[in-house]
A = this chain, B = another copy of it.
Amino acid sequence: QINVRERKEITDGELNKKDNIHSKMKKNAVLVDGVILNGPITDSKAGEKFVEEACKIIMEEIIQKADDVTEKVCEWRAPETLKKLLDLEMRDTGESHQKLLQLCQDVIQYSVKTNHPRFFNQLYAGIDYYSLVARFITEALNPSVYTYEVSPVFLLVEEAVIKKMIEFIGWEEGDGIFNPGGSVSNMYAMNLARYKFCPEIKEKGLSGLPRLVLFTSEECHYSMKKAASFLGIGTENVYFVKTDERGKMIPEELEKQVQRARKEGSAPFLVCATAGTTVLGAFDPLDKIADICEKYDLWLHVDASWGGSALISRKHCRLLHAVFSKIYAFKFWLMWKALGTTGLEERVNRALALARYLVEEIKKREGFQLLLEPEYANVCFWYIPPSLRKMEDGPEFWQKLHQVAPVVKERMMKKGSMMLGYQPNQGKVNFFRQVVISPQVSREDMDFLLDEIELLAKDL
């Protein structure tokens, strides 16, 4: 049943936009529940034009500026100010394409530029053109990697990348999976180890069983506790093993903890070692830990989310002995195709050489002090401002030094010159942590980093 009045309204209004289906629709309009069902309701030509214009903005405002150190790392605004600058409200009526493009510009302007060569805040490697293209393609194709039926190409790509990575680990055979990140990988590993320990837990759950206990170092990733809580194991059943002054798990301490757990009548099932800790970049002694795991029949998981890339370097692979790394397959594959194994190796070697350069500069400069000699790309250091340099070593000195990094950080944010993280660790007061991985970053940026800290902290 077609309601003639309604049909006419729609024909005159919306349908005029779509000339190609216009005449057909007039002849053959179908109205159900007051909705005209002929032809699509989206204007695909306008939609395509919108995507094209947005891509131009992305190109000019994000990608072309990514290597420009004269751009700000962030244009910091307080939350209430930013809320006023952005038009966040969702209304009944849609906005024009012109307005939407302006919104996209605003979103970009006030976002932190994690691609910026001087964004050192987290473990970012700068812009990578190949993995970016891969992500654009997967976003546009919008696949679900369930089965070969719906995702034939990406399943084969994942298979190929995993095969290659297994070769690098040095295994004859093996299998793997790509995860969205380190936290998820650690959870999967814990679940896997639990299933290995007692397959029945899958159906029966943990109720009524002895306490499952796992071991990891004090310097492990925070996702370990989160995973233990989520999996119903309980955070108290994560036994933290003491580390040495470099942040490496002490094997003798691990063995003591395993024996303690056994005496308590609990069920030790897993050791989570770390290859490249988040803060210090420390590598646990995998060989010795593996021996203990064998002796006590424990599953060994190595979190190599951060340190795993050392495997690609013939110079630095001695840092690891058996790992498993995690990145979404297709973007890694396209990057690998583009750079080749040699190019990937060059990046790892360069990152570690840059860290080495920074360490030597820190040693040379007055006021800078290394936390420890790094073995990987994490360079941890304090900056002691002029006013503290003559102070005696003691609680007051450390308390004052503890305040320095937060002030310097706030100043760099407001200036937008760079972003660098800091934290306290194991009784050590706030220190800066510079993690070098971006191929855009050069010696000049390392010099800038130290100059800028000096400049921002000279009056402290």
Q: Which residues of A contact B (CB under 8 A)?
A: 30, 32-35, 37-42, 44, 47-48, 50-52, 54-55, 58-59, 62-64, 66-67, 74, 76-77, 79, 82-83, 86, 88-95, 97, 100, 103-104, 107-108, 110-115, 117, 121-122, 124, 126-127, 129-130, 132-133, 135-137, 139-144, 148-154, 156-157, 160-161, 164, 180, 187, 191, 194, 201-212, 228-237, 315, 330, 333-334, 336-343, 346-347, 349-350, 352-354, 356-357, 360, 413, 419, 439-444, 446
Smallest distance from the beta carbon of A88 to chain B beta carbons, Å? 4
Residues of chain B within 8 A of A210, CB atoms compared: 207
Could you show 11 A-B contacts with beta carbons less than 8 Å apart?
A35-B353, A50-B133, A51-B63, A76-B152, A82-B152, A90-B164, A95-B340, A112-B143, A201-B234, A205-B206, A205-B234
Question: In the assembly, what is the distance between CA of A130 and CA of B44, in Å?
Answer: 12
Say whether B152 contacts A40, CB under 8 Å.
no
Kindly list chain B residues whose C-beta atoms are within 8 Å of the C-beta of A93.
Answer: 340, 342-343
Question: What 5 new A-B contacts, CB under 8 Å, besides A90-B337, A124-B142, A203-B234?
Answer: A32-B360, A40-B67, A42-B129, A42-B440, A206-B206
Q: What B residues does A180 contact at CB under 8 A?
A: 180
Q: Give Cα A111 to B154, complex, Å.
A: 8
What separation, in Å, do the CA atoms of A229 and B347 have in the docked complex? 41
Q: Which residues of B contact A150 (CB under 8 A)?
A: 112, 114, 121-122, 419
**Least Cβ distance of A49 to chain B in Å?**
9
Q: Cβ of A208 and Cβ of B211 under 8 Å apart?
A: yes
Q: Which residues of B contact A443 (CB under 8 A)?
A: 30, 37-38
Are A100 and B130 within 8 A (Cβ)?
Answer: yes
Q: Which of B41, B121, B137, B419 contacts A108 (CB 8 A)?
A: B137
Contacts of A144 in B (CB 8 A): 114, 122
Residues of chain B contacted by A346 (CB below 8 angstroms):
35, 41
A139 touches B139 (CB 8 A): yes
Task: Assess the B35–A161 pair: CB atoms within 8 A.
Answer: no
Q: Which residues of B contact A115 (CB under 8 A)?
A: 140-142
CB-CB under 8 A from A62, the residues of chain B are: 137, 140-141
- Contact (A140, B63) CB under 8 Å given A41-B347, A82-B156, A88-B156: yes
Say whether B90 contacts A336, CB under 8 Å. yes
Distance (whole angstroms) from the CB of A58 to the closest CB of chain B: 5
Bound CA span A127–B69, Å: 36
Q: State in angstroms the CA–CA spacing of A150 and B73 once bound together.
A: 10
Determine which residue in A33, A90, A180, A315 has the highest number of CB atoms from chain B within 10 A of its CB, and name it: A90
Q: Is the CB of A333 within 8 A of B90?
A: yes
Q: Decide if B59 touches A48 in the complex (CB within 8 Å).
A: yes
CA distance A212 to B204 in the complex (A): 10
Contact of A79 among B122, B156, B212, B339 (CB under 8 A): B156
> Contacts of A63 on B, CB cut-off 8 Å?
48, 51, 140
| Inter-chain contacts of A230 with B (CB < 8 A) | 187, 191, 230-231
Q: Which residue of chain B has its CB nearest to the CB of A124?
A: B142
**Distance of A353 Cα from B30 Cα, bound (Å):** 10
| A104 and B153 alpha carbons, distance in the complex (Å) | 11
Q: Does B41 contact A140, Cβ atoms closer than 8 Å?
A: no
- If A32-B354, A54-B133, A141-B108 touch, does A442 touch B209 (CB 8 Å cutoff)? no
Most chain B CB inside 10 Å of its own CB: which residue of A47, A76, A228: A47
Cβ contact of A35, chosen from B76, B112, B350, cutoff 8 A: B350
Residue of B nearest to A129 (CB): B47
Q: How far in angstroms is the closest Cβ of chain B from A54? A: 4
Task: Looking at the assembled complex, report how far the CB atom of A439 sits from the nearest CB atom of chain B, in whole angstroms.
Answer: 5
